[in-house]
Chain A
């Protein structure tokens, strides 16, 4: 993985010193909250309901064991023994004292981590496919490009005060696991007919109160032009993006209001000025960054086939976990493992200090010291020899992280909601927990099949409800929580925005409503192979509306 060079070290150390000084001055009353707020936000420090919150960047979701151990240490020493992994592949701590944050940032810097640009109207953490470098179906690892974007966008003077925040995602496979079409810029790394690497470029996706699917503005951009083209997009946005209304300030609104053709023309015109200048990436520089992401030397481990076969016969639960949480690796003797942070009835994305340390140990011993955070709020061991799967599984069982529910209905994305968040209008975590408990039987979950359920506790949509096969949005109505359900959303290569199915449900009704929807699907699907999303696309909302609301219409 990427290692800091001297410049990176100096940059992060300088920022720690600078922000520590700002915190000291704030605590001494030398600067006001109004002066301090933008400074703390630039360093990932929010003020939430109960306390401050620190959001730490995990660039493109990649971590080594030393880093995860440090996160466990921070959870134990400065927080309340746990952290929350987020949909930007980052981690948040919910209870740090402001006075401890300089020490936390110094600890983070010692393992090449920081909290820079995890908030504010700048380019945020660049996300990538969590199976990058391991997936059997990718043309190349997208992370070197994410790293190039990270270096370019870090304290970029022109793009540090954009009209609004700006999010970029990169995938290197046809099957999009990075939700690129819901991003301000989505990059799909691919090869052209000549075998050269480049990107399909999508612009103007986003969620929030106005969900939009990104538009493809270029079919193939040579890799050397990555920064000049992104600069052109950002320049057009910085110039024409609205600053008068926070809710209309994202690039999705500009793209929508300007039209794809015109915005493409503007970007291409700007790019013509830039493409042959100093932003063109020299081949040697790309390959130098590439080298940091060279895959580990994966020795052949052909004994894995037999070992897995025997272990399967021996343990049904191992066999189920294998089917659900383990995916094919580009090397036939290896696999990529999803460590579910969605234990039945648990808060999605939370991990305790000791769990983090135990996962770090596993990564060090069995996974070439590499981990990923997925945008679906799970942890990934991208390279595990099939011969070691059983021992990894047994270790995960011991720390309560072996739930075999990847991509099933209890693998829920959820924002922190009103239990933590100052912006939330309703709770999300308890809803996720109740649904998870209702569908606790893994047998039942497998019978239902792939089903992506996503919950947000306010219209800002941090829980990605718009692109859930089933989406739940919590709002406050007449002083009570009300949950609105959307169906048919999706965040893959066939991205779609879910449709509101009808009136919302109270917190007491919502789990029953979800169960009703699931039962309706089970009743109408063609066979077990027709997934929820495919069935919904075939039949539309009518049967679900009927199941949820028909009784009311008759009663009325």
Chain B
């Protein structure tokens, strides 16, 4: 399973593709379960990149537990949460953002 991630051009914020837009948290990102869905996400990423909405677009491996998306690699876990030595920074510091998404 994969989701589409990138950084927003203007402020660098890590974002994930969800519900037709770019969300600031990974929780409810659109999950590709097969190659066709991956291709669709990849095309969306290429368009968003060409439109200068986001940069550094990547498909990343995830698992889904209880409807919540969780990255596989530590690197992506840290991107999705924030620095592990500073719980006051990054997404993990914004419970309201997590709830809203």
Contacts and interface: CB of A to CB of B under 8 A. Distances in A.
A29 interface: yes
A123 to B, nearest CB: 27
Given A51-B12, A51-B13, A98-B10, A33 B75 contact: no
Interface in A37-96: 47-52, 80, 95-96
25 contacts: A27-B52, A33-B49, A33-B55, A48-B12, A49-B78, A49-B79, A50-B13, A50-B82, A50-B83, A50-B89, A50-B90, A51-B7, A52-B11, A52-B12, A95-B89, A98-B12, A419-B78, A419-B83, A419-B86, A420-B83, A427-B74, A427-B78, A427-B84, A429-B83, A479-B74
Given A429-B85, A433-B85, A50 B79 contact: yes
B73 to A, nearest CB: 7
Interface in A219-254: none
Contacts of B73: 479
B9 interface: yes
A292 to B, nearest CB: 37
Given A50-B79, A418-B74, A479-B73, A27 B11 contact: no
Contacts of A415: none
A479 B56 CA distance: 22
Interface in A475-492: 476, 479-481
A95 B84 CA distance: 15
A459 interface: no
Contacts of A418: 74-75, 78
A47 B10 contact: no
B61 to A, nearest CB: 10
A51 B9 CA distance: 10
Contacts of B51: 29
A126 interface: no
Most B CB contacts (10 A, CB to CB) among A27, A80, A347, A418 go to: A418
A556 to B, nearest CB: 29
Given A32-B52, A52-B12, A429-B85, 17 more contacts: A33-B52, A47-B55, A48-B12, A49-B14, A49-B78, A50-B89, A51-B7, A95-B12, A96-B12, A98-B10, A99-B11, A347-B85, A347-B86, A418-B75, A419-B84, A429-B83, A430-B85
Given A47-B7, A49-B75, A479-B73, A29 B52 contact: yes
B11 A51 contact: yes
Contacts of B9: 26-27, 33, 98
Interface residues of B, number: 25
Contacts of A95: 12, 89
Contacts of B83: 50, 419-420, 429
Nearest to A428: B85
Interface in B1-45: 7, 9-14
Contacts of A50: 12-14, 79, 82-83, 89-90
Contacts of B49: 33
A97 interface: yes
B85 to A, nearest CB: 5
Contacts of A480: 74
The 6 A-B residue pairs with the shortest CB-CB distance in the complex, in nearest-first order: A97-B11, A51-B12, A419-B83, A29-B52, A52-B12, A429-B85
A419 B7 CA distance: 16
Contacts of A479: 72-74
Interface string A418-438: 111000100101100100000
Contacts of B86: 347, 419
Contacts of A99: 10-11
Interface string A453-482: 000000000000000000000001001110
Interface in B40-89: 49, 51-52, 55-56, 72-75, 78-79, 82-86, 89
A32 B9 CA distance: 11
A420 to B, nearest CB: 6
A211 to B, nearest CB: 25
A94 to B, nearest CB: 8
Contacts of B12: 47-48, 50-52, 95-98
Contacts of B13: 50-51
B26 to A, nearest CB: 13
Nearest to A23: B10
Nearest to A99: B10
